[in-house]
Amino acid sequence: MTLQIAVAQLNFVVGDMPGNAQKIIDAARTAYAQGARLLLTPELSICAYICEDLFLRPSFIAACDEAVKTVARETAGLTDMAIVVGHPVGKGQRGKSITVSQRTNSASVIRDGRVIETYAKRLLPNYQVFDERRYFVPGQGTCVFQAGGVSVGLLICEDAWFDEPAQLAKEAGAELLAVINASPFHVGKGYEREAMMIERVKAVGLPLVYAHLVGGQDEVVFEGHSFAVGPDAQLAGRAPSFEEKLWFVQAQRAPAAIELKASKAPARDHDADLWDALVMGLRDYMGKNGFRTAALGLSGGIDSALVLALAVDALGAGNVHAVMMPSPYTAGISVEDAREMARRVGVHYAEISIRPEFESFKASLQPLFAGKPEDTTEENIQARIRGVMLMALSNKHGHLVLACGNKSEYAVGYSTLYGDMCGGFAPIKDVVKTAVFRLARWRNAHNPFGTVANPIPERIITRPPSAELREGQTDQDSLPPYEVLDAIIERYMENDLGVAELVAEGFRPEDVELVTRLIKINEYKRRQSAEGTRVTHRGFGKDWRYPMTNRFRA
């Protein structure tokens, strides 16, 4: 006996239930024609993930119910094929200002035109970007269904991270575990999942097929990387990362267990995954929100250069507009480097001097600034003039403005509100400065999308970074070296280390005091920043929830 399993690793759109249902129907028909009798789609495939407070709207749940019926009706002719779809089930108890959840994060098994089983997720994550207890109640049951003569136990995401749900499925007769999942990416996450599922197979003694979502949704990205683990707790196959794929797994009954066989995509290095995640996050944010073209300020520095390279890979050079806006403090080589990069990648390029506007602002404000020396005020005026220019281009032409700030800058507030923070999406918001340099070198050495080789001029990478808002300025005038700054940020954010613990790790007390103070007092800036793709364990988005009014520091 051989069961052909198809994993529909697809890119769904939140709230597009008719479109998502059609993708599932198309995948089912294709898989059936190739001999598959079990189709697995990712967690909440009907409505996509993350839906946030849409789950609280009865009309949203009703639309999901209708989409499940559509899938059942349109696949009724695929005789004996089991199709697993993820969707919310149930209703909320509505009050004047709140909706108390009575719904579940569920998966239904469809066969021959009807739903034959529905399973409710038992373990609901409520950490990092997850808020599932806000929307769902835990399930209580176990689901084991038949597909091609194999007893399949169904699990959803968090259920598979602990032994009990899998063990209960085994006790109910499961011979194979099917795990459907929508788990946001961070660097290395796919291999963490593989390792965890290998441990699950060792503990429970059943082979496992893991169907994962692919695509970008606001700040999160799902990388695909579906896989299968055989009964010997060895990886039996792996789907590609960061691409849609109808991926097949052969389940063969052997004397002792169900053996699995599938194609195995090669393991990838972390920077390749990071680049693809950033490209997918930008491309899907723009595409799913109806934007075709992007604009950014190209300064001749490393951050805007990296964002430009990302935009070209994500959108194509013809859809990207780069604007160099020199001020009195812009070095000549910055203009040269911006021109050279624009030439290399082939984007639309323009230069607009902001000197007249800058001088006009200073003249207008001079009576009110009398007796005051120039300081960051004049620096911020330059950044805000550039923001106005870019937003004017956005309004006139419909471009999405890309903010080019990195995680190190957002952490310590080394940015100008309504200036360089201006934009609708911040592609490298979760990439620290040291990783920006590393990624620039990686992209110059690789051309993963076949767009342009070696896009970033070497001088942009090797020059000391500077905002160029005053004479002779460099970033290190105001901040510790980026190697130190980024190490403190990572430990403070991702490991929740306090001041004393950071000093105990060997960081200078004055550096720790400065960085942690800056992180605290710049919360108000981050609250007004654009979305940006989350690629680390903890970004400045859904999983960073600190009060702006706060006197605690430790």
Residue 263, annotated as binding a ligand: no
Residue 25, annotated as binding a ligand: no
Q: 3-class secondary structure for 210-240?
A: EEECEEEECCEEEEECCEEECCCCCEEEECC
Residue 298, annotated as binding a ligand: yes
Residue 475, annotated as binding a ligand: no
Residue 49, annotated as binding a ligand: no
Residue 116, annotated as binding a ligand: no
Listed in sequence order, the residues at least 6 apart from 377 whose beta carbon sits closer than 8 Å to its beta carbon are 369
Is the distance from CB of 397 to CB of 420 less than 8 angstroms?
no
| Torsion angle of C-alpha atoms 475, 479, 482, 483, degrees rounded to 10 | 150
Indicate which residues carry an active-site annotation. Answer: 43, 121, 157
Dist. CA 471–CA 331, nearest whole Å: 9
Residue 300, annotated as binding a ligand: yes
Find residue 119's DSSP bridge partners.
107
Dist. CA 471–CA 488, nearest whole Å: 29
Nearest in space to 525 (alpha carbons), one of 431, 414, 434, 425: 414
Residue with tokens 């004047």: 96
Residue 306, annotated as binding a ligand: no
Is the distance from CB of 336 to CB of 470 less than 8 angstroms?
no
Listed in sequence order, the residues at least 6 apart from 307 whose beta carbon sits closer than 8 Å to its beta carbon are 296, 402, 404, 427, 428
Residue 151, annotated as binding a ligand: no
Residue 304, annotated as binding a ligand: yes
Dist. CA 419–CA 410, nearest whole Å: 13
Dist. CA 437–CA 462, nearest whole Å: 9
Residue 59, annotated as binding a ligand: no
Residue 189, annotated as binding a ligand: yes
Residue 299, annotated as binding a ligand: yes
Nearest in space to 240 (alpha carbons), one of 445, 60, 509, 448: 448
Report the amino acid identity of residue 400.
L
Residue 352, annotated as binding a ligand: no
Is the distance from CB of 190 to CB of 225 less than 8 angstroms?
yes
Is the distance from CB of 536 to CB of 430 less than 8 angstroms?
yes
DSSP 376-430: HHHHHHHHHHHHHHHHHHHHHH-PEEBP---HHHHHHT-S-TTTTT-SSB-TTTT
Dist. CA 86–CA 42, nearest whole Å: 7
Residue with tokens 């602990």: 162
Query: Residue ranges for the binding site for L-glutamine?
Result: 127, 183, 189
Query: Residue ranges for the binding site for ATP?
Result: 297-304
Query: Residue ranges for the binding site?
Result: 127, 183, 189, 297-304, 380, 409, 525
Query: Residue ranges for the binding site for deamido-NAD(+)?
Result: 380, 409, 525
